[in-house]
Amino acid sequence: MEKKTYTPIVPELTKNAITVLERRYLKRDKEGKVLETPVQMFRRVADTIAAADQKFNEKADTAPVAEEFYHMMTQLEFLPNSPTLMNAGRELGQLSACFVLPVGDSMEEIFDAVKFTALIHKSGGGTGFSFSRLRPANDVVLTTTGISSGPISFMRVFDVATETIKQGGTRRGANMGILRVDHPDIMDFIMCKADKKQLNNFNISVGLTEAFMKAVEKDENYDLINPRDGQVSGALNARKVFNRIITQAWENGEPGIVFLDRLNRDNPTPHVGMIESTNPCGEQPLLPYESCNLGSINLSKMVQDDKINWKRLSDVVHLAVHFLDNVVEVNNYPLPQIAEMTLGNRKIGLGVMGWADMLIRLHIPYNTEEAIELAHKVMGFINEQGHAASQALAKSRGAFPNFKGSVYDKKGEALMRNATVTTIAPTGTISIMANSSSGVEPLFAVSYVRQVMDNDILVEIHPYFEAIAKEKGFYSKELMQRIAEHGTLHNIDEIPEDIRSLFVTAHDISPEVHIRMQAAFQKHTDNAVSKTVNFTNGATIADVARVYELAYQLDCKGVTIYRDGSRDQQVLSVGKKQEAAQPAGLDKDQSTTKRERPKILKGWTYQMQTGCGPLYVTVNEDATGLFELFTTMGKAGGCAASQSEAIGRMVSLAWRSGLQARQVVKQLQGISCHSPSGFGENKILSCADAVAKAIQAHVEANGGKVQHEKRVFRKGACPDCGGIVEHEGGCAVCRLCGYSECA
């Protein structure tokens, strides 16, 4: 019998996509050398996932299925979540991105959850928790006759554990922390990330109930319930609590909100358990110990001759459901409890990316009624076809084991292979691979400015816009540079108005349109929709309140907002360049003449423990004040020592030229490297960070004060490459190197 071979399809990957694949996805040896090509990666994944067919038919020829999976991925029509691309066909074999773990109200249960979290993060997954079962702070602990620490205290334990785990060197740990709005510690929870210096490995959301929202509408009090005994332990005014959530979200984007009763209204297996949390980005509600496998269809590839190719979209939906069900089968689960729960419900989450690109190809502006109507049509079609595909699989493979007692069983509907089928996830790095817009988000920018290693400045332009600009005759390098500086096409008169309205960006779109688009996709999605509602920096608290209320009215399952600049320590995204100005820290009449060095200076030396060893920082002063800074590494020579010396020289030059300590601290503090040291307030992220902390300690020891900024993670810039960061689905993603805050 003639052996079937693969069609020689080579994916059309951009240079940026190849960079991301090489940095984060492709096999490497112990020395870090890349061992496979992108084509080999896709074949590895296709063969591994297709092989699951033999579990249901030992004689099945899986080559044709593998060919279809390979074609679908290499044509960038569909991509699974990152762990599947990274780990399918490899020793680790853990293919899920989303997990939820229970946190019980005992020391044993809490630290079991910490241990399980470490194992999941090590395998490449993200975790969600509800801390609502934990008794409040200062409550009685009968076994020790002491008082409890409360949920927030234990969240810090999870946070430190996550910080310690580096997910195989390819993915960061990420967590979702949820607390019910009727928990006695709710006000402390709302404020727990206000100072930006703790719980930086958590997204947090308040779990709202229908009873609470009705109390908000009526401006009434609602009861707080102690989870230890289920008794009422107090009351709060619902409107005041709601306003505090909104105000804090306006301040720095957190907490988000999750409508818990809606999650459980659509829980397909209530007889198995109640949903109390979601994955880190909020789109995947899960039962305790449950995981889910996600994948996204690239809608930009579903347009042909300015029309949606419904036939190909249907084919890809059916193939993708088959693919994701096979992932459930071949997955190597990190815990037996997770394997049991996941195989019992077989949840999958098929979503989309490239929605903004599809609209552009169809000549439909994102912020129009036509776009919202099309969202209903497209996602309704995907959900319908996805359920049909799951039903077809159930006929040959059987329904998910917990089908009896599920909502499908109670309604007398056809057997389903999967308890859920659709989810709209943030697509992060896989959308970079596909060279498409992220999830259901609008474009973040039409053009980026990118600085490469030889200090050349490259302007990266949206491919559809570049093609139209050349076709319409208004393309020029100078114009593209201007667009990159503005970050938007508004007020650029050389561009026709119809093109400007077609290429709208996240900040060109009103928050109301953002939430209406989210609601349109939510109506046809089994699980939830991950989307960020973007606000300009000048948005008011009342603007945020209107969006939260609209999300409730439109039956969304949660909301994440981001007000531009509310977390950023510097604006490095896109936008008009600042005009040349007086150097920071100098008044107009202040001289920039460099002070001459006296022969004798007094100084102080500070020992700072860095990841490269002890760093000794010497600060010298003259009669005017701070004058110069020297650094000495505990180990002489090497890159760290030379860079620390360079920092010392530049700091000295800055001080002798009139700059103040706070300007230097502001620039150096928060810079991170691959080898941090310490924890909490004593954590030193790099040698530069150590110098900043030494200067701060010196000034404060001598009676001064440095008003500094905490920059554990600079939301304005990627900590890996310094590139542009987009906010999507409650996460921050770099479009240049593929870094994702939320794994």
* 410-437 residue pLDDT tens: 999 999 999 999 999 999 889 999 999 9
- pLDDT given for residue 742 in this prediction: 67
In a 13 Å sphere around the CA of 629, the CA atoms on its Cβ side amount to 31
- pLDDT given for residue 679 in this prediction: 66
CA-CA distance, 60 to 326, in Å (whole number)? 14
Selected catalytic residue, list 16, 267, 279, 331 = 279
| Residues contacting 650, CB < 8 A, separation 6+ | none
CA-CA distance, 94 to 88, in Å (whole number)? 7
Residue 569 pLDDT greater than 50, yes or no: no
CA-CA distance, 374 to 132, in Å (whole number)? 39
- pLDDT given for residue 293 in this prediction: 93
Amino acid present at 557:
K
- pLDDT band for 715, please (50, 70, 90 cuts): very low
Q: 281 an active-site residue?
A: yes
- pLDDT given for residue 720 in this prediction: 66
Which of 264-278, 382-396, 572-586 has the weakest average pLDDT? 572-586
- pLDDT given for residue 699 in this prediction: 85
- pLDDT given for residue 164 in this prediction: 83
- CA torsion angle 627 629 630 631 (round to 10): 170
Taking CA atoms, 307 is separated from 14, 473, 520, in Å, by: 25, 25, 20
CA-CA distance, 617 to 681, in Å (whole number)? 19
* Per-residue pLDDT tens over the stretch 221-245: 999 999 999 999 999 999 999 999 9
Provide the percentage of residues in the chain whose pLDDT is more than 90.
62
* Per-residue pLDDT tens over the stretch 643-673: 888 898 889 888 888 788 877 888 888 787 7
- pLDDT given for residue 596 in this prediction: 78
As a whole number of Å, the end-to-end CA separation of the chain is 45
| DSSP three-state, residue 576 | coil
**Mean pLDDT over the full length of the chain:** 87
CA-CA distance, 98 to 127, in Å (whole number)? 6
Between 310-330 and 63-74, two packed helices, what is the crossing angle to 10 degrees?
Answer: 120
**Helices (H), ranges, 233-345:** 238-252, 260-265, 310-330, 336-345
- pLDDT given for residue 348 in this prediction: 98
DSSP label of 580: P
CA-CA distance, 465 to 431, in Å (whole number)? 18
Mean of the pLDDT values across residues 145-160?
Answer: 91
CA-CA distance, 581 to 25, in Å (whole number)? 43
Of 268-272, 578-582, 641-645, 719-723, where does the model show the most confidence? 268-272
Residues in the chain: 743
Give the CA diameter of the chain.
Answer: 91
* Per-residue pLDDT tens over the stretch 347-360: 999 999 999 999 99
Strands 256-259, 202-208: parallel, antiparallel or unpaired by DSSP?
Answer: parallel
Break the chain down into helix, strand, coil percent, rounded to 5: 40, 20, 40
Selected catalytic residue, list 68, 77, 283, 728 = 283
* Per-residue pLDDT tens over the stretch 195-229: 877 898 999 999 999 999 999 999 999 999 999 99
Residue in this structure with the two tokens 């309604």, named with its chain if needed: 411
Residue 583 pLDDT greater than 80, yes or no: no
| Vertex 107 angle, CA 104 and 112, to 5° | 70
Which of 253-257, 286-290, 472-476, 697-701 has the weakest average pLDDT? 697-701
- pLDDT band for 579, please (50, 70, 90 cuts): very low
* Per-residue pLDDT tens over the stretch 279-294: 999 999 999 999 999 9
- pLDDT given for residue 672 in this prediction: 77
> Minimal CA–CA distance to 82: which of 358, 251, 401, 327?
327
- pLDDT given for residue 709 in this prediction: 40
- CA torsion angle 607 609 612 616 (round to 10): -10
Task: Pick 600 or 379 by higher pLDDT.
Answer: 379
> Minimal CA–CA distance to 102: which of 267, 289, 281?
289
Q: 279 an active-site residue?
A: yes
- pLDDT given for residue 450 in this prediction: 59
> Minimal CA–CA distance to 559: which of 506, 522, 523?
522
Residue 99: strand pairing partners: 127, 291
* Per-residue pLDDT tens over the stretch 604-636: 888 888 888 888 899 998 877 888 998 988 655
* Per-residue pLDDT tens over the stretch 491-541: 888 999 999 999 999 989 999 999 999 999 999 999 999 999 999 989 999
Q: Which two tokens stand for residue 414?
A: 């056809």
Q: 283 an active-site residue?
A: yes
- pLDDT given for residue 666 in this prediction: 80
Residue 66 has φ and ψ, to the nearest 5°, of -60, -40
Amino acid present at 8:
P
Which of 387-391, 403-407, 561-565 has the weakest average pLDDT? 561-565
DSSP label of 20: H
Task: Pick 23 or 548 by higher pLDDT.
Answer: 548
Mean of the pLDDT values across residues 66-75?
Answer: 97
Decide if 533 contacts 547 (C-beta within 8 A): yes
Of 267-276, 456-465, 486-495, where does the model show the most confidence? 267-276
| Residues contacting 669, CB < 8 A, separation 6+ | 689, 692, 693, 696, 708, 709, 710, 711
Mean of the pLDDT values across residues 393-422?
Answer: 97
CA-CA distance, 427 to 439, in Å (whole number)? 5
> Minimal CA–CA distance to 731: which of 564, 530, 541, 569?
530
Burial of 144 (0-12, 13-18, 19+ CB in 10 A): exposed
Look at the pTM and tell me if it is higher than 0.85. Answer: no
In 133-209, DSSP assigns E strands to 140-141, 146-147, 166-167, 171-172, 175-180, 202-208
**Helices (H), ranges, 406-502:** 407-410, 428-434, 463-472, 477-486, 497-502
- pLDDT given for residue 594 in this prediction: 65
Decide if 708 contacts 419 (C-beta within 8 A): no
- pLDDT given for residue 580 in this prediction: 33
